[in-house]
Structure 1
Amino acid sequence: MIKIYQEFMKDLDRLNKIIMEGVVQISKNLGISTLCEGVETEEKYKFEKKAGIDYSGLLVLQTDFSLYSRI
């Protein structure tokens, strides 16, 4: 498993998105799953799923657990 450090998710700018998508693509090509830390908002969760990241390392739980029902 490849773990994507939470600092990439903290500031979800264009460069960090490109880096994370690249890491995911490389890991998929190698047959390795990915985990991303720092998924704290709905926007970050949606990006994580769109990018193809396999697992979430949630730091903050929200009261709306329906957001995480697919994990």
Structure 2
Amino acid sequence: MAGRALPAGWESDSEDFEYIPLRLPPDVTRVSAAMRLAIQAEFGGWELSRVRLYTDGSRRVLLKRRKTTHHVPDPAL
């Protein structure tokens, strides 16, 4: 996760889970964000861990999933 800073207080160290932070720009609506995250959950095995909404309308999202032995690509939102 090098180069992807997490907001203060967001822990992402676990032996059982892998985490990926995402930033959703302000022009992404709540409905569109929910649809994008649902697609990642369905096809990538990711689940929502945390969301932070900023005053400019952007969102920082932390997704997690159980670690697997086979490679599943990271979400490209």
Pair in the same fold by TM > 0.5: no
**TM-score between both structures, scaled by the size of structure 1:** 0.32
> Relative to total residues, which structure has the larger strand share, 1 or 2?
2
Q: Which has the higher helix share?
A: 1
Larger Rg: 2
